[in-house]
Structure 1
Amino acid sequence: MSTVSPTSSNSSASTISTTHSTTLDQSDFITILLAQLEYQDPNNPMDDKEMAAQLVQYSSLQMLTNINSSLTTLVSDNSTDTITAGANYIGKSIKSTGYNLTVSNGTVSTLYYSLGESVTDATANIYDSDGDIICSVPIGSKGKGDYSFVWDGKDTNGNTCADGTYGIIIKANNAEGDSVVVQSQISGVVTGVKSSSGTIYLELQDGRTVELSKVTEVVGTATKDSSDSKDSKDSKDSSSTSS
Structure 2
Amino acid sequence: MSVVSNSGILGQYEAQLAASVTTHKTNMDQNDFLKLLVAQLEHQDPLNPMDDKDMTAQLAQFSSLEQLTNIKTGIQSLVDAQNQGSMLNAVGFIGKAVKADGFNLSKTGETTSTVYYSLGESVANMQVNIYAQDGTLVRTDVIGSKQAGEFQYNWDGKNTDGVSMADGTYGVAIVAEDSSGAPVLVQSKISGEVTGLVTYNGTTLLQLKDGRTVDIASVTEVVAVGSSTTDTDTDTSTAS
- Shared fold by TM > 0.5? yes
- Structure 2 unaligned regions, length at least 5: 1-19, 23-27
Residue type of the alignment partner of 1:129: Q
How far apart in 2 are the matches of 1:120 and 1:146?
16
- Please give the residue correspondences for 1:84-163 in structure 2 after superposition, counting only pairs within 5 Å: 84-163=88-167
Judging by fraction of residues, say which structure has more strand: 2
Residue type of the alignment partner of 1:199: T
- Contact (CA 8 Å) 1:26, 1:61: kept in 2 or not? no
Residue type of the alignment partner of 2:124: T
- Please give the residue correspondences for 1:153-192 in structure 2 after superposition, counting only pairs within 5 Å: 153-192=157-196
TM normalised by structure 1 equals: 0.75
Matched with 2:34 is 29
1:24 Cα deviation from its structure 2 partner: 5.1
Count of aligned positions: 216
How far apart in 2 are the matches of 1:86 and 1:130?
31
How far apart in 1 are the matches of 2:107 and 2:210?
8
How far apart in 1 are the matches of 2:60 and 2:179?
70
Q: Are 1:208 and 2:208 matched, yes or no?
A: no
SS at match of 2:162: coil
For residues 66-117 of structure 1, give each alpha carbon's deviation from its aligned partner in whole angstroms, at most 9, with x where no partner exists: 1121122122212212222322211111112111111112111000011121
Matched with 1:230 is 230
SS at match of 2:93: coil
How far apart in 2 are the matches of 1:46 and 1:176?
76
- Contact (CA 8 Å) 1:94, 1:189: kept in 2 or not? yes
1:32 Cα deviation from its structure 2 partner: 4.8
How far apart in 1 are the matches of 2:236 and 2:220?
25
TM normalised by structure 2 equals: 0.76
Distance 1:101 1:27, change over 3 A: closer
Residue type of the alignment partner of 2:60: V
State which structure, 1 or 2, has the greater radius of gyration over its C-alpha atoms: 1
How far apart in 2 are the matches of 1:240 and 1:21?
64
Residue type of the alignment partner of 2:137: I
SS at match of 1:56: helix
How far apart in 1 are the matches of 2:214 and 2:179?
34
Residue type of the alignment partner of 1:54: Q
- Structure 1 unaligned regions, length at least 5: 1-19
How far apart in 1 are the matches of 2:212 and 2:110?
17
Residue type of the alignment partner of 1:29: L
Distance 1:173 1:25, change over 3 A: closer
How far apart in 1 are the matches of 2:118 and 2:207?
24
RMSD over aligned CA atoms reads 3.0
Matched with 2:224 is 221
Matched with 1:3 is none
4+ runs of 1 displaced by more than 6 Å? none
- Contact (CA 8 Å) 1:30, 1:58: kept in 2 or not? no
**Aligned partner (choices 76, 82, 99) of residue 80 of structure 2:** 76
